[in-house]
Amino acid sequence: MWGWPLTLNVSLAIAAVLLDLGYPPFVATAVPILARTASLLAHLEEEQKHPIGFALAARAIEPRDE
């Protein structure tokens, strides 16, 4: 919608640079997907070594004493 802020992320910047360099659109789509996949794999590896995700999620839904 006009007048609303546009949130930018690194995937948009990567795609813009690749398109500007003359790469075809499928490459501009694939490179950010590969980067996201690598970060997901790194996160999964980190969770296996130091599993805190479920503990943090449980703490987030616990009732608080007020």
What confidence score (pLDDT) does residue 23 get?
Answer: 95
What is the full per-residue pLDDT of the chain (66 aa) written as tens digits? 688 887 778 888 888 999 999 999 999 889 888 888 998 999 999 989 988 888 888 888 877 766
Range of the domain at 50: 10-61
Tokens coding 22: 């003359």
- Whether residue 3 lies inside any domain: the answer is no
Residue 1 domain flag = no
Q: Which pLDDT belongs to residue 52?
A: 87
Residue 66 lies in a domain: no
Distance CA 15, CA 5 (A): 20
Distance CA 43, CA 20 (A): 31
Q: Is the pTM of this model over 0.85?
A: no
- Asked if the structure places residue 20 within a domain, the reply is yes
For the record, the structure tokens of 50 come out as 């130091």
| pLDDT at position 1 | 67
In a domain, 35, yes or no: yes
